[in-house]
């Protein structure tokens, strides 16, 4: 859990007008908070999840809808929570439930970043699934939660949206010179979406390893004490950005930090193969996934 000292450290240089918006940002959905807590348990019972979903029928419906979507690739359609758990396993099902609980927070358009309704949400789901696959590929200890920080890595864009819109021409002028977006945000706004996302999660009492994974998801080499989550979230985001929108057929793959590849024990040709495999998977994703 993030301490007040750590939150203040994140706050230090952020303009007051942006901090006001962070303070006004909605709390994490209650169901999502309870479900996320289950992911930290060694053994999770289906009854624990059912008890949370029982009080929110709409969420239960959305969990099944997400479980049946192309994002999670079940070999057969499921019609009940118990059937979904049998096919997915309790932990994986809990992750899906957390994802569904966050949908209303993340499904709106984010105009400052030119994201249509659902686009941020789809990207977040893609990155979280890629992170899980990457962790499995590298045989990383399952106690290191990579799914959650990958799911919420771009949360800060929801707060910075209106500020980006106000200074969009300045930001575009900078990014047109091949400057990364997060650097342009810092230059114009005095902060960036990764820093704001970390602040939101700290205020939501997320563990600092998850907060840091979000804070440094564009430059994990800057972390003094490197954590595996940060490297995986960074690399998964790189892969999914390479395969997003118009770039998916361009044949161009964003080159990642050599420091991160070395820490994860991944060679460049292995990374490229992972990116190509993810590209194939993303083409199959449903474009019609919506939530009530």
Q: What confidence score (pLDDT) does residue 110 get? A: 94
Instruction: Supply the mean pLDDT for the chain.
Output: 83
Q: What confidence score (pLDDT) does residue 9 get? A: 54
Q: What confidence score (pLDDT) does residue 250 get? A: 44
Q: What is the pTM of this model?
A: 0.85
Q: What confidence score (pLDDT) does residue 6 get? A: 54
For the chain, what are the domain ranges?
Answer: 4-26+108-283, 29-101
Number of other CB atoms surrounding residue 154 within 10 Å? 23
Q: What is the DSSP letter of 110?
A: B
Per-residue HEC secondary structure of 160-189 comes to HHHHHHHCHHHHHHHHCCCCCHHHHHHHHH
Q: What confidence score (pLDDT) does residue 288 get? A: 45
Q: What is the DSSP letter of 115?
A: B
Beta bridge partners of 110: 115
Pairwise CA distance, residues 122 & 120, whole Å? 6
Residue 217: exposed, middle, or buried by beta-carbon count in 10 A (0-12, 13-18, 19+)? buried
Alpha-carbon separation of residue 15 from 19, 165, 167 (angstroms)? 6, 16, 15
Q: What confidence score (pLDDT) does residue 113 get? A: 94
Dihedral sign, Cα of residue 266, residue 267, residue 273, residue 275: positive
Q: What confidence score (pLDDT) does residue 169 get? A: 95
Q: What confidence score (pLDDT) does residue 246 get? A: 37
pLDDT in tens, the chain (292 residues): 555 555 555 556 789 999 999 999 998 888 888 888 777 777 777 788 888 888 788 888 888 888 887 777 677 888 888 888 888 888 888 888 888 888 888 888 999 999 999 889 888 988 998 998 888 887 776 657 888 899 999 999 999 999 999 999 999 999 999 999 999 999 999 999 999 999 999 998 888 888 999 999 998 887 766 678 899 999 999 988 865 543 334 446 778 899 899 989 999 998 988 888 887 777 666 444 554 4
Answer yes or no: CATH 3.20.20.140 is held by domain 4-26+108-283.
no
Beta bridge partners of 160: none
Question: Dihedrals φ, ψ of 213, to 5°?
Answer: -60, -35
Pairwise CA distance, residues 263 & 15, whole Å? 34
Q: What confidence score (pLDDT) does residue 287 get? A: 47
Number of other CB atoms surrounding residue 143 within 10 Å? 7
């Amino acid at each position: 859990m993030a301490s007040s000292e750590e939150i203040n450290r994140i706050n230090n240089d952020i303009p007051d007008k942006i901090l006001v918006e962070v303070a006004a940002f909605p709390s994490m959905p209650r169901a999502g908070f309870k479900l996320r807590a289950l992911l930290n348990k060694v053994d999770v019972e289906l009854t624990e999840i059912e008890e949370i979903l029982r009080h929110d029928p709409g969420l239960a419906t959305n969990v099944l809808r997400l479980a049946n979507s192309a994002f999670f690739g079940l070999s057969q359609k499921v019609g009940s929570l118990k059937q979904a758990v049998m096919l997915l396993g309790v932990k994986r099902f809990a992750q899906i439930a957390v994802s569904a609980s966050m949908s209303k927070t993340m499904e709106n358009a984010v105009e400052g970043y030119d994201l249509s309704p659902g686009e941020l949400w789809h990207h977040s789901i893609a990155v979280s699934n890629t992170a899980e696959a990457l962790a499995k590929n590298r045989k990383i200890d399952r106690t290191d939660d990579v799914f959650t920080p990958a799911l919420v890595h771009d949360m800060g864009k929801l707060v910075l949206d209106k500020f980006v819109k106000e200074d969009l021409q300045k930001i575009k002028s900078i990014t047109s010179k091949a400057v990364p977006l997060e650097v342009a945000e810092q230059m114009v706004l005095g902060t960036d979406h990764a820093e704001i996302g970390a602040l939101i999660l700290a205020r939501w009492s997320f563990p600092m390893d998850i907060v840091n994974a979000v804070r440094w998801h564009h430059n994990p080499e800057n972390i003094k004490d490197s954590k595996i989550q940060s490297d995986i979230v960074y690399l998964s985001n790189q892969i999914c950005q390479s395969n997003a929108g118009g770039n998916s057929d361009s044949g161009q793959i964003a080159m990642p930090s050599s420091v991160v590849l070395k820490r994860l024990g991944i060679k460049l040709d292995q990374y490229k193969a992972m990116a190509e495999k993810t590209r194939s998977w993303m083409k199959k994703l449903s474009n019609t996934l919506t939530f009530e």
